[in-house]
Amino acid sequence: MEETPFGYRVVTPEEVDQARREGDEDAAPVLLDVRTPQEYRSHRIPGAILLPVQELAARWQELDPDRRTICICEHGIRSESAAAFLAQRDFADVSTMRGGMSRWAGEIERG
């Protein structure tokens, strides 16, 4: 886990996989997929919710700022923008997944 000066952390895909498997549903992090709907349908981490980065400014209030949130995209660029945006809105624990789905080796859902 790496701290950034922008108020969010960078976590590895392995750390994301471990976090999503630990604890009960209330303790599991929100896996926030900020890619396009087409990318999300193509492949995603099980349990991830879709909120495209271009909709984040209008819909961020739908998220719980007290719940751990991990932003995910295809390569890590859009998720960094999303994580910084949420950190600026006082989300208590927000991260981005380094390398995005291109580095994810865990379980995948499709469709």
Radius of gyration of the chain (CA): 13
101 contacts 79 by C-beta, under 8 angstroms: no
**DSSP 8-state symbol, 60:** G
Span 36-49, pLDDT tens digits: 999 999 999 999 99
- The tokens for 9 are 């952390």
Would you please indicate which residues are annotated as catalytic (active-site) residues?
73
Domains of the chain: 2-103 (3.40.250.10)
Span 44-95, pLDDT tens digits: 999 999 999 999 999 999 999 999 999 999 999 999 999 999 999 999 999 9
Question: In Å, how far from its chain's centre is CA 102?
Answer: 14
Name the E strands within the chain: 2-3, 9-11, 30-33, 49-50, 69-72, 94-97
